[in-house]
Amino acid sequence: MGDDMKRAGYINTFQLQPLKDIHLRSKYDYELAGNGNLTYLKYLGIAALFILFIAWINYINLSTARSLDRSKEVGIRKVAGAGKFQLIRQFLAESLFLNTIAVIIGILIFRLTLSPFSNLVQKDISSLYVSDWRFWVFVITLFMLGTLLAAFYPAFVLSSFQPIYSIKTSQGASGLKGGKNALRKSLVVLQFVAAIVLITGAIGFYRQLDYMQSRDLGVNIKQTLVVQQSARQDSSAIPAFNAFLNDMQANPAIQSVTASTSVPGAEVGGSSDYALKNSQTAKRCRNLGIDNKFIPSYGLTVIAGRNMSTDKPPVDTTVMVNVLVNETAARTFGFGNPAGMLGQEIEDGGSGFHYTVIGVVKDFHQESLQNSFDPIVFYPEEERNFGNFSLKLNTSNLPALMDFVKQKWTALFPESPFRFFFLDERFNAQYANDRLFATVLWLFTAIAIIIACLGLVGLSLFTIAKRNKEISIRKVLGATLLQITSLITMDYLKLVLLAAAFALPVAYILVNNWLDDYAFHVSIGLWFFLLPVMMIMLIAILTVLYQSLRAAIANPVKSLRTE
């Protein structure tokens, strides 16, 4: 093809690619199926770190909240001769012990849930056991990081209590009280930030997935059985092709039959460089060979010109071939108004054929909505080169019809296996990874919310315990149940709103960057900002409300009689 490429000015270059990068980091045309998505793994990794971060925050919050309860213990230890660094070592040892138990339980849960998770992701990941040294390096790093980060501040606070104040007033170092409260509130805000980002990401992804599955594709793929021709044929097979099409069309359970080189649900299997007559600028377009029934059978719309009828396939380079193009191809050739493409002559520099555009087809989604519209040239193809036969079905007895189709196929094409698929299933299979990612992301989000709720429950218990006498005095002075409950819950609602101010810009950037990977995606509207905040506010209220109600309806005499 060297001479043809020189005439067309076509340049071909070769690039090296590491073999291990193909699965996650490669998006070339006509690749082998089964590529993974590195973006999904990154977002799941972020979600996992958010979960771990929320758990660390809970540990710090609960440790500092319990600091007043342990102030007498610290005072007595100091009076007995314990130094500050001895106390720090004690509290770090406690954290080390708790983290060790957590790692052991975590690995056990990992081993027990590996098989169910394999079923969820529909992959055999039974080899992901804990024998790889990199796994242990990662676990040990997280273990040491969690032990130090989560325990350092509580250990520092507890060991700094003055023994005289600790033993006399149970208030520890009273000067630290405001600082501890500020830190706890800051950590709660960070916890809510992580939770809001996760919820926002999960909602945004679910909306995009629902949008992709419900959007009008511009092509009718329902009730379509596609039979694939896998054996290479020559001109002697033309009578068999015609006989198969006639037999299928004669069956009342089949509405229409059409043949083509490609069908929706995968990229068009071929492309060429086309140039307008008297133009030196070539445009790359996909080649889709069709018969004259393809356009009406798939419900496509010819917005200008006409469909093919008895137009001849490209066989003789001296004969002009009639073709159709889609809207994107018309724009690619420089026609803002698609109708301007009618009557234009184009040529394929590589093959030497010349074409006349007789119609323009409205754009439709040949592939998933992650892909933009490709410029497509529809041309009449010879029967022997058709690889796909699309049967539009209308039957309540599918098994009988499948037996009929298989029988006719086997009789006419004994050398070609009976290979088939239903087009809507094949098209929806493009979203299998998206649905799986959405499921796992919701699972991660649920875990994060549960852990955050556990922390809120613990923190609210300590907060209410410290305010028992205040609540009792308010009740004696006439405060209502609503007033006392609002007093406690409003503190957390303020923190949620503060967290939303930080979380929503971060979530917007993350989700917007992810949506940019899709050629067609949902718009981020007001719901994007309101729904996650309302959800986390409701979760926070329900988490704290039970403890607030218990404190509000408790008998004030029990709290005040010791004063």
d(CA 44, CA 47): 5
pLDDT of 523 strictly over 80: yes
In the chain, the percentage of residues whose pLDDT exceeds 70 is: 89
Residue 275: which H helix or E strand, with range?
Answer: strand 271-276
Q: Please tell me whether the overall predicted TM-score, pTM, comes out greater than 0.75 for this model.
A: yes
Mean pLDDT value of segment 226-249? 83
Mean pLDDT value of segment 115-126? 79
Q: What is the pLDDT of residue 173?
A: 46
Mean pLDDT value of segment 354-368? 93
Q: What is the pLDDT of residue 561?
A: 64
Mean pLDDT value of segment 414-418? 88
Q: Where are the domains of the chain?
A: 231-416
Q: Is 258 helix (H, G, I), strand (E, B) or coil?
A: strand
Contacts of 193 (CB under 8 A, 6+ apart): 499, 502, 503, 506
Q: What is the pLDDT of residue 168?
A: 60
Hey, what's the torsion of the CAs at 295, 299, 302, 308, to 10 degrees? 20
Please provide residue 284's backbone torsions phi and psi, each rounded to the nearest 5 degrees.
Answer: -80, 125
pLDDT of 350 strictly over 90: no
Q: What is the CA radius of gyration of the chain?
A: 34
More confident of the two residues 381 and 472 = 381
Instruction: Report yes or no: 317 and 323 within 8 Å, Cβ to Cβ.
Output: no
Q: Is 218 helix (H, G, I), strand (E, B) or coil?
A: coil
Q: What is the pLDDT of residue 327?
A: 95
Instruction: Report yes or no: 147 and 63 within 8 Å, Cβ to Cβ.
Output: no
Q: What is the pLDDT of residue 176?
A: 45
Amino acid at 154: P
Secondary structure of 10-24 in HEC code, one letter for each residue: CCCCCCCCCHHHHHH
Q: Which of 44-48, 128-132, 151-155, 296-300 has the lowest mean pLDDT?
A: 128-132
Strand pairing category for 419-422 and 354-361 = unpaired
Q: What is the pLDDT of residue 165?
A: 60
d(CA 378, CA 384): 17
Predicted confidence band at 175 (pLDDT cuts at 50, 70, 90)?
A: very low
Mean pLDDT value of segment 274-296? 89
The closest alpha carbon to 543, from 456, 449, 450, 468, belongs to 456
d(CA 319, CA 545): 81
d(CA 529, CA 504): 7
Question: What is the per-residue pLDDT across 58-96, written as a single tens digit (0 to 9) for each?
Answer: 887 777 766 666 777 777 877 888 777 887 888 888 888
Q: What is the pLDDT of residue 179?
A: 53
Mean pLDDT value of segment 404-416? 91
pLDDT of 128 strictly over 90: no
Q: What is the pLDDT of residue 562?
A: 59
pLDDT of 377 strictly over 90: yes
Q: If you search the block for the tokens 């029990």, which residue do you land on? A: 558
The DSSP-derived string for 174-204 is: GGGHHHHHHHHHHHHHHHHHHHHHHHHHHHH
d(CA 548, CA 64): 21
Helices 177-214 and 38-65: crossing angle, nearest 10°? 150
pLDDT of 226 strictly over 90: yes
pLDDT of 170 strictly over 60: no
Q: Which range, 160-174, 208-222, 469-483, is most confident?
A: 208-222
Secondary structure of 352-397 in HEC code, one letter for each residue: CCEEEEEEEECCCCCCCCCCCCCCEEEEECCHHHCCEEEEEECCCC
d(CA 370, CA 457): 42
Secondary structure of 312-331 in HEC code, one letter for each residue: CCCCCCCCCEEEEEEHHHHH
Q: What is the pLDDT of residue 138?
A: 84
CA distances to 49, 276, 318, 323 from 280, in Å: 54, 8, 20, 20
Q: For 30-63, b where at least 16 C-beta lie within 10 A, e where not — what string?
A: eeeeeeebeebeebeebbeebbbbbbbbbbbbbb
pLDDT of 116 strictly over 90: no
Mean pLDDT value of segment 296-316? 90
Contacts 24+ apart (CB under 8 A), 87-93: 87/155, 87/158, 87/159, 88/155, 88/156, 88/159, 90/155, 91/151, 91/154, 91/155, 91/158, 91/159, 92/147, 92/148, 92/151, 92/152, 92/155
Q: If you search the block for the tokens 């709290």, which residue do you land on? A: 559
Burial class (CB in 10 A: 0-12, 13-18, 19+), 85: exposed
Question: What is the per-residue pLDDT across 180-200, written as a single tens digit (0 to 9) for each?
Answer: 567 777 888 888 888 898 888
Mean pLDDT value of segment 146-163? 73
| Residue 429 C-alpha from the chain's centroid | 15
Question: What is the per-residue pLDDT across 422-451, written as a single tens digit (0 to 9) for each?
Answer: 999 888 888 888 888 888 888 888 888 888
Q: What is the pLDDT of residue 169?
A: 53
pLDDT of 563 strictly over 60: no
In the chain, the percentage of residues whose pLDDT exceeds 90 is: 24
Q: What is the pLDDT of residue 481?
A: 78
pLDDT of 332 strictly over 90: yes
Predicted confidence band at 163 (pLDDT cuts at 50, 70, 90)?
A: low
State the chain's mean pLDDT as an integer.
Answer: 83
Contacts 24+ apart (CB under 8 A), 70-75: 70/158, 71/161, 71/165, 71/166, 71/170, 71/171, 71/172, 72/166, 72/167, 72/170, 74/158, 74/159, 74/161, 74/163, 74/166, 74/172, 75/161, 75/162, 75/163, 75/164, 75/165, 75/166, 75/167
Mean pLDDT value of segment 487-509? 87
